[in-house]
Structure 1
Amino acid sequence: MPVASNRRLAALIEELVGGTEPLEAIADRQLTPDYRQRVNGRWTARDAVLAHFAQLREAARSVEVTVLDEGTTTRPGDAGAPAPADGTAADTAADATADTTTDTTTDTGYAERHIVSVTLANGRRSENEVYIFARLAADGRIRSLEEVILPLTDDADDAADAGTSTDATGR
């Protein structure tokens, strides 16, 4: 079952970086099969994200995530969303029968801002402020994630250059 909304991405990052469960099992539970992410303008597919987290697991001694802001949004067609202002139906029969692994009409928006601090095995500490906007599928898993990373320490830049950045998606 996907991580509950409170500290949703923080818990996921801590699980991906500091956990012992296989990354693919975590991804199957938390990310849709068509998951993709954009970090500072660059799109990456799910398999590349998992490969990066495998590297980060090897390089990191510890990870700490402090959530600063978090919220969800809905849009017409989402369960509980207000009806469209023009009075038209927000969903159609086609939407109701669509495969939710690729149908985005029922997605919910998720936004978060956090500070992530990683201590690498070599003792260097990397700290970044991360701004995230995500789409959650109807089943609660993350379908897509877009983020912007603001390095807060010089080591954050060094870690990113070394392929051991510490944002929510491992870039």
Structure 2
Amino acid sequence: MTLTGIEAALNDLLFNDEITLQEAADRHFAPEYRQRTDGQWADRAEFLEHITHVRTLVAGGHVEVHEELYEELYGGGGKYADRHTAHITKKDGSTVSMEVYVFADLTPDGRFGRIEETTLMLRGSDADRGIGSAR
């Protein structure tokens, strides 16, 4: 089983022009995927709607992983946790940095099945505060 991680997933979703959004999603997120960001739940379709919107704003960036933990479970799947900072340069030239705390379930094939995350704005305008869940 190959396990995904936040850095690989976000790089493919936001910064890799070589693959489509659907290819990135299929690579890292199970069909039943759901996510809670700052208390707001989204199913996979809503999550992809969010990423589609963010892609219209992002010119480039990178993910800096500070801590990352995996636990494989007997019988397949696993648990994942990390603390990372997403550094984003928007198409208008402004920058956004968000520190994110993630707890997740991994499916038996190593993709994310569920993520619950909390975000902390480090740099950006007031309008950027909702970038983690904007659609």
With the length of structure 2 as denominator, give the TM-score of the two structures: 0.88
Q: Give, in angstroms, the shift of residue 57 of structure 1.
A: 1.3
Q: Give, in angstroms, the shift of residue 150 of structure 1.
A: 0.7
Q: Which runs of 4+ in 1 moved over 6 A?
A: none
The alignment yields a C-alpha RMSD, in angstroms, of: 1.9
Q: Which residue of 2 aligns with 1:9?
A: 6
Measured against aligned partners, the alpha-carbon deviations of 1:108-163 in whole angstroms (never above 9, x if no partner) come to: 100010011101111111111100001001110110000000111242x42234xx
Kept in 1: contact 2:121–2:129 (CA 8 A): no
With the length of structure 1 as denominator, give the TM-score of the two structures: 0.71
Q: Give, in angstroms, the shift of residue 74 of structure 1.
A: 4.4
Measured against aligned partners, the alpha-carbon deviations of 1:3-60 in whole angstroms (never above 9, x if no partner) come to: x55xx21121111011221111221121111000000111101111111111211211
Rg larger in structure: 1
Counterpart selection for 2:61 from 60, 63, 76: 63
Spell out the pairing of 1:3-152 with structure 2 (5 A cutoff). Answer: 4=3, 8-20=5-17, 21-74=19-72, 78-79=74-75, 106-152=76-122
State how far apart, in whole Å, the 2-side matches of 1:74 and 1:18 are. 28
Stretches of structure 1 that go unaligned for 5 or more consecutive residues are 80-105
Residue aligned with 1:152, SS: strand
State how far apart, in whole Å, the 1-side matches of 2:72 and 2:108 are. 11
More strand by share: 2
How many pairs align?
133
State how far apart, in whole Å, the 2-side matches of 1:31 and 1:112 are. 16
Spell out the pairing of 1:151-162 with structure 2 (5 A cutoff). Answer: 151-155=121-125, 157-161=126-130
Stretches of structure 2 that go unaligned for 5 or more consecutive residues are none
Residue aligned with 1:158, SS: helix
Q: Percent identity?
A: 31
